[in-house]
Structure 1
Amino acid sequence: MRNKEMNLILFFFLLLIGPQVHCSDHFPGHHNHQYAQRHELSYEVPEDISNFHKIVSSNTDFAFRLYKQIVTNTTAQNVFFSPLSISAAFSLLTLGAKGETLNQINKALVFNLSEIEEKEIHDGFRQLIQVLNRPHKQAQVSIGNALLISDSFEVSSTFLEDVKTWYKAKAFSVNFGNPTLVKKQINAYVKRKTHGKIPHAYEDLGGNSVMVILNYIYFKGSWEMPFDPASTREEDFFVDSATTIKVNMMFQTGGYRVLHDERLSCSVVQMPYKGDATAWFILPDDGKLNDVEASLGKETFSNWMTTVRQIYIELYIPKCSITTSYDLKQLMQGLGVIDAFNGAAADLSGIDGGRNLFVSQATHKAILNIQENGTEAAALTRIKIDIASGLSHPPTIRFNRPFLMAITDNSTQSMVSMGKIVNPNNSGI
């Protein structure tokens, strides 16, 4: 793989493997699914973790494609999501998909099966989860998967063993006939896994649910050079040409890796966290936000990563707390995943051997907190399955208008999350 693609970094919040603490990974009030321990693995899993880079380029490509789908529908709102969480959840789903349903999901995730084998995709996620969840990292990333399975629904043993093997997913039996209890249990589980950042994971179960796939991710990083809270001042932030608001603007001077992309008309600032993580802040020139968004892609990001240069600047970035929620059904359909959401066309027969399952809901929630000492973020992806009946050295960079942001994990060359801050004071959607 080319060096530039190897330097690309995945996206923001939700996986798990290897050195995590299993004793705390339980679902409130229920036991592990009855089939979870009974059968042999369907694949032989290699022990090395040297090949996760095979999926990094596709994951990064998917991240930018999904971002463009989101901004097409939410042009005037804050944007923040974890493409890694979403790609991991839908890649897990492909273990139960077949035929055109499988082809559509792989195409949306930018996996070309003429260039990479399905086994390599799943093993790439296995390795990625393992690396991201390494203990004792200064920049904390934890990611994991869980399957909530109806206690009256019989799942293929092969499917269960595959999701355990490749995605380290925990399987729990639940009683969907008691939706109030199940929602309470799901919310408690996700709240614990996201360190309290996502307390309400589910509001509506509904339908004829037989399975819910959860993918959660949590990130906490401290700036390598933290801001001094005493330097934070109230300043103007220009939401658009007609709207100006007051924000708490952080400030400091220091040496950062920056550039001004003359072709795209934007400034880029690389801000390292302690440990193996980096934040990227992209500030479009006045009136150029739409142009920058239209040009986003893995090649553009790769070019930025190789052309930023260390200079001394005055830096202004607003404190913010953002919460977002997305209907992935609409977004993934926009990327070509049609059959999985169609009860008459979906082929998820790898889950139970039948042809009567379909994805009734797919949603994503994410939060972002940017403070003087660092960044905290979390995200959750839910899939509900039902039965059908140029370089410049600017002396000052002031993020006082809508800007973009991405968080990357250096050790896995993966982009953990990305977004757009339109209004730092608007904490909701």
Structure 2
Amino acid sequence: MRVFLFVCLSQALLCTVVFGHHEKEEEHHGENADEHAMETPLQKIVPGNVKFAYSLYSHLAEEYPNDNLFFSPMSISTLFSMLSVGARGPTQTQIYEGLGFNMSAISEEDINKGFQQQIHALNHRTSDLELSSANALFVEQHAKLLEKFSEDLKNFYEAEAISTDFTNGDEAKNQINSYVEKKTNGKIKDLLSSVGPQTLLVLINTIHFKGTWLHAFDETRTHESDFHVDENTVVKVPMMTIREEFLIAIERESGCVVVDIPYKGNTSAILILPDKGKLHEVEKAVQNVSLQTWAKRMRPMKILLSIPKFCVSATLNLKNELPKLGIKDVFSGIADLSGITGDRLQVSEAIHKAVLSVDEKGAEAAGASAAAITKLSMPFHFNADRPFLITLLHKPTDTILFTGRVVKPEKC
């Protein structure tokens, strides 16, 4: 049996961000068939994508209660949806259900078309915003992919096929790592430590984001401050501060404050700051709060916003984590991936890496912000000096690009 190597990764370059959670309800529950038929394929996959994002987050939060978490649910969903094109029978069903899709309510065609529309919408670049997603297949040079598999991946996922000599492990590893490094603007290097000679195919998805804050931070206002990791641990971090109007919700019952920090363009960083000692309680609570609920509760308010300047990175071994969400067979000897080459294959590795960088960068002049901070009437102070949650949201498509938890900020 030849093995199938599957690699998933993502990367974010963020200029001054913060984290939060958006749970989207099953908006279409109770709608009639005509209304559902009017939805675009992209709209149809949104509930499943959100469900997967928070199912995986919830699992990881329980598995690693005291660690930083950071991943791209969009990247993982896209890559496994690509894989599902070549899956058959129970293997394919497990992938779809694990990704949050109810197969009695959505078709395989709509799933593929939905990701096609999402990829097209996300590949957007302006002077203030860089957002791009890329897919690639590194194929053993003598392998013959089935025509339908090749066409579907090209048409729906814009995936390029790259011939690779896996018998030369070092050369194949360098080829793949170079591709990844280029697509992530040098932020992810040496993703693969080795490539086995029995490898047939490596699938890659990268997502790259670089944004400019709508309201820039003044670098001269950044100062060293305490960050309370827990009751007994305090670390020093460079804290950025700005006084500006943001959308904010003060959730006294849930024990947290939510703020929407916009980038220029159509993306926002949503940060949820739990009350002291309530991180895990808030993590559980936000799983049941819909995007619409947060939006209805948020109001514009001029606040003093303080967030740390930091970097965070995380690598997930999805072969260990996804079986706990029901995606099991694809990693075992009973995997049915016969739609790829017609032969018996299985996933031998599934790696996901994400990187986040947060700083003051912004195109706007900062003089006004500095002056505003010195006003006599002090506004509500949103001070992220303790663990917080963060979500990067692409608003036009309701796509959760990245999500996670910052327990201990790392220096860049």
TM-score range, shorter chain: 0.7 to 0.9
Answer whether contact 2:166 2:197 (CA < 8 A) is retained: no
**Residue in structure 2 matching 1:409, options 379, 390, 394:** 394
Aligned residue among 352, 364, 381 for 1:364? 352
2:170 pairs, out of 180, 197, 200, with: 180
1:370, distance to aligned residue in structure 2 (A): 0.7
- Counterpart for residue 337 of structure 2: 348
User: How far has the Cα of 1:138 moved from its partner?
Assistant: 3.2
Q: Give, in whole Å, the separation in 2 of the partners of 1:110 and 1:335.
A: 9
Query: Partner letter of residue 338 of structure 2?
Result: S
Give the match for residue 425 of structure 1: 410
How many residue pairs were aligned? 364
The answer for the alignment partner of 1:20 in structure 2 is: none
Task: Tell me the SS of whatever aligns to 1:236.
Answer: strand
Give the distance between the partners of 1:426 and 1:361, measured in 2 at CA.
Answer: 30
Q: 1:142 to 1:411 in 2, by over 3 A?
A: same
Is the CA contact (8 Å cut-off) linking 1:60 and 1:298 kept in structure 2?
no
Find 1:145's aligned residue among 135, 152, 158. Answer: 135
Q: Equivalent residue of 2:316, what SS? A: strand
- Give me the identity figure in percent: 39
Is the counterpart of residue 396 in structure 1 residue 386 in structure 2? no
Aligned to 2:15: none
What's the CA shift for 1:49? 11
In 2, the alpha carbon distance for the partners of 1:363 and 1:296 equals 27
* SS of equivalent residue, structure 2 residue 396: coil
Query: 1:263-296 CA distances to partner (integer Å, 9 max, x unpaired)?
Result: 3211101000001110001101111111111123
Q: What are the within-5 Å matches in structure 2 for residues 55-94 of structure 1?
A: 55-94=45-84
**Residue 313 of structure 1 aligns to a residue in which SS?**
strand
Q: Deviations over 1:4-60 (max 9, x none)?
A: xxxxxxxx958xxxxxxxxxxxxxxxxxxxxxxxxxxxxxxxxx9953111111111
Is this contact kept in 2: 1:174–1:182, CA < 8 A?
yes
**Cα distance change, pair 401–287 in 1 and its aligned pair in 2 (3 A):** same
> 1:152, CA displacement in angstroms?
2.1
Read off the aligned partner of 1:138 and give its amino acid letter. Answer: D
In structure 1, C-alpha distance between the alignment counterparts of 2:171 and 2:100, rounded to whole Å? 38
Give the structure-2-normalised TM-score.
0.85
Residue equivalent to 1:30? none
Amino acid at match of 2:336: D
Maintained 8 Å contact 1:238/1:400: yes
Q: Equivalent residue of 1:239, what SS?
A: strand
Q: Given residue 51 of structure 1, which amino acid in structure 2 is its aligned partner?
A: P
- Secondary structure of the corresponding residue to residue 106 of structure 2: coil
- Residue 29 (structure 1) aligns with: none
Match status 1:52 vs 2:42? yes
Provide the TM-score with structure 1 as the length reference: 0.81
Q: Which residue of 2 aligns with 1:161?
A: 151
SS in 2 for 1:96: coil
**1:166 & 1:297 partners in 2: Cα distance?**
31
Amino acid at match of 1:353: G
Q: Which residues of structure 1 form unaligned runs of 5+?
A: 1-11, 15-47, 376-392
Unaligned residue ranges in structure 2 (runs of 5+): 1-8, 12-37, 364-377
